[in-house]
């Protein structure tokens, strides 16, 4: 199946291509980046909003995800605000020095300074939207927040997220290994299983 990826994030696009291509999907990079207002109150709502917007614009089956980090000691924040946490007035806003990813990480570590409970999880919902229906997949990856960033791979909060059973951060884990354990990898594989179940009916 040929699908368009509803994302402007090059890191997400690389992961979607790596995971879906071996499973029989040809993933197309959108010719234009759409600015989609993510007004949903959940990851699933935001994923569907993006999928519908890209389908309406380009007229082909669309894969969209919305994902983020939920930190236990912060009552589930950053959550749906993960990509713009630096600007949310939760314990103060963070000045952007460098990239927005770096600002998000600095704010997270500032809020967790001296906090013993560093449990967290990455969550992802993925939608395949075809115009008249949507198929969904969910995935999560549990772990803890490191005291400081480590590693140069990945993106977002990867440099401070240590998956369960690991001592390395996501940013220190090779891409293929990350795909096997990540929230987005699990969500995309569950999406493919759902599509296959529908096709087999």
What is the tens place of the pLDDT at every residue in 84-131?
999 999 888 888 888 999 999 999 999 999 999 999 999 999 999 999
Q: State residue 61's pLDDT score.
A: 95
Distance from the Cα of residue 110 to its chain's centroid: 22
Q: State residue 103's pLDDT score.
A: 96
The pTM (predicted TM-score) of the whole model is: 0.92
Q: Show Cβ contacts of residue 174 under 8 Å, excluding neighbours closer than 6 positions.
A: 153
Is 101 a residue of the active site? no
Q: State residue 26's pLDDT score.
A: 95
φ, ψ at 24 (rounded to 5°): 95, 15
Q: State residue 62's pLDDT score.
A: 96
Give me the domains of the chain, ranges plus CATH numbers: 2-199 (3.90.950.10)
Mean pLDDT of 127-153: 95
Catalytic residue among 56, 65, 66, 101: 66
Q: State residue 8's pLDDT score.
A: 86
The better pLDDT of the pair 186, 29 is held by 186
For CA atoms 147, 69, 185, 15, the dihedral sign is negative
């Amino acid at each position: 199946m040929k699908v368009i990826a509803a994302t402007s994030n090059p890191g997400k696009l690389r992961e979607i291509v790596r995971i879906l291509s071996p499973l029989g999907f040809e993933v197309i990079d959108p010719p234009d980046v759409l600015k989609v207002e993510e007004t949903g109150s959940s990851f699933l709502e935001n994923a569907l909003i993006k999928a519908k917007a890209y389908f309406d614009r380009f007229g082909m089956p669309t894969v969209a995800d919305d994902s983020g980090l939920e930190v236990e000691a912060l009552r589930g924040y950053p959550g749906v605000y993960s990509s713009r946490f630096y600007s949310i007035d939760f314990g103060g806003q963070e000045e952007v020095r460098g990239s927005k990813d770096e600002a998000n990480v600095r704010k997270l570590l500032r809020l967790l300074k001296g906090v013993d409970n560093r449990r967290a999880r990455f969550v992802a919902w993925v939608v395949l939207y075809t115009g008249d229906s949507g198929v969904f997949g969910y995935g999560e990856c549990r772990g803890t927040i490191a005291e400081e960033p480590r590693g140069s791979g990945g993106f977002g909060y990867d440099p401070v997220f240590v998956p369960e059973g690991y001592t390395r951060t996501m940013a220190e884990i090779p891409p293929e290994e990350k795909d096997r354990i990540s929230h987005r990898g699990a969500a995309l594989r569950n999406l493919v299983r759902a599509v296959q179940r529908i096709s087999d009916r």
